[in-house]
Amino acid sequence: MVEPLAIASVLLLQLQQAIPSRFTPGQLSGGSIPVTGPQSIPLYRSKDTQRILYISPVALQLAKQGSIPPMEIAQAIAESFRNSRPPDLPSPLGANLWNLSVIPPGKLYLELTDPGIAIWLQRAIAWDLESDATPDPGPLPPSESLDLFAIQYAHARCCALLRLAHREGLITLENPTPPGTSTNIGSVTAPDPSAWLESPTRLKPHHPAERTLISRAIATVDALSCPLSPSQITSRLAIATLLSQDFLTFHAQCQIFGSVQSQDLDLAQARLGLIFLTQKLLKRLLEKDFSSLAPLEL
C-alpha cells in the first residue's frame, strides 16, 4: 500500500492533529466568536524541485470563520506542530524533521529537512510497492493506445545499471536474474541502510539533478496514494513521463562508475539507491496503472 509512504497524506494528518480542536478568540485575540477546525486542510507542493516544501493556507481558511487574525492562527498551529509528539501513524515524519515557517498573511511553509529526506528515502527503498492494495480503477485504455516507450526505456535503463552495479560489487541484488529470464530485477539487500547523509544535516546526493529526481519521486508517491480512475489516466501518464525524464537527466549528469565508484563509494551507492527507487516506481506505474510490461531490457 502506497499511502503510508505518501508524505502529503501523512503531513495532512499531522497538521490535523496540530490544529487545536477549538480556537477561542479570548485566547488568541480577545474576541468572543469560537473558530472550529476545518473539514479539510488545503495543502500543496511548491514548484521548487530543489526543496521538499509543502504550503498550507489553512489559517486563512480558519480566519474566515471569526475575528482571529490569520497570522495568530498560523502561529498557534505552528507552535502546536513543533511541540507535538510523533503521531500514531504508519510512517510519520516527526515535527523535528520539518522546518516550519509562518509567512504573511498566514500561510504555513513546511520544508522537509535533509535528515527527513534521508529517512523517507530509506523507507521508500524498503517499501513493497508491488503489494499495493489500492482498489481496481476499472476499465482503462488499452496499453497499446498509450505511448509508454519512454517510460519502458527508463525502466530498462534502471535495470541495466543495477545489474552492472551488482556485477561491480557496488550493491547486492537479491536473486539477480539475467535479462530475458525474469520480469523482476530483485531487491537491493546491500548496502543496508544506504549512506544518504554526508553530515548530520546534509544529504549526500545534493547535485541539482539528484535533488530534482528525489523531489519527483516524492511527488510520484504522493500521486500514487490517490485512487486512479479512467478519466485520470492521462495525468498519471504525465507523472510517469516526468519521472522518466528526470531520471534520464540525472543519469546524464551524475556519474556512478569510474572515478566516483573508486573515490566516493557512498555517493555511488546513494545514486544507485535513487535508481532502484525510480525503477520500483516505474515498474509500479507500468504494471498496475497502465497494465503493461516493465521490461528489464529493450
> In the 8-state DSSP scheme, what is residue 286?
I
> In the 8-state DSSP scheme, what is residue 135?
P
In tens, the pLDDT along 218-247 reads 999 999 988 887 778 899 999 999 999 999
**Taking residues 100-104, what's their average pLDDT?**
97
> In the 8-state DSSP scheme, what is residue 62?
H
Local confidence band at 27 (pLDDT 50, 70, 90 cut-offs): very low
Local confidence band at 176 (pLDDT 50, 70, 90 cut-offs): low
pLDDT recorded at residue 130: 63
Percentage helix, strand, coil for the chain under 3-state DSSP, each rounded to 5: 50, 10, 40
Instruction: Look at 107 and 131; give whichever has higher pLDDT.
Output: 107
For the chain, percent of residues with pLDDT exceeding 70: 83
pLDDT recorded at residue 201: 95
Can you list the domains of the chain with their CATH numbers?
A: 3-112 (3.30.1360), 134-289 (1.10.730)
pLDDT recorded at residue 31: 46
For the chain, percent of residues with pLDDT exceeding 90: 62
Local confidence band at 29 (pLDDT 50, 70, 90 cut-offs): very low
**Taking residues 123-152, what's their average pLDDT?**
72
pLDDT recorded at residue 166: 95
* Residues 33 and 64 sit within 8 Å (Cβ to Cβ): no
Cα distance between residue 58 and residue 188, in whole Å: 40
C-alpha cell at 132: 499495493
pLDDT recorded at residue 239: 96
Local confidence band at 50 (pLDDT 50, 70, 90 cut-offs): very high
> In the 8-state DSSP scheme, what is residue 297?
-
C-alpha cell at 93: 515524519
pLDDT recorded at residue 68: 84
* Residues 284 and 278 sit within 8 Å (Cβ to Cβ): no
C-alpha cell at 250: 540525472
Instruction: Look at 231 and 38; give whichever has higher pLDDT.
Output: 231
pLDDT recorded at residue 16: 87
Asked whether the predicted pLDDT for residue 33 surpasses 50, the reply is: no
131-140 residues labelled b (16+ CB within 10 A) or e (exposed): eeeeeebeeb
Local confidence band at 56 (pLDDT 50, 70, 90 cut-offs): very high
C-alpha cell at 185: 530485477
Local confidence band at 298 (pLDDT 50, 70, 90 cut-offs): confident
pLDDT recorded at residue 48: 96
- Per the prediction, the chain carries an average pLDDT of 86
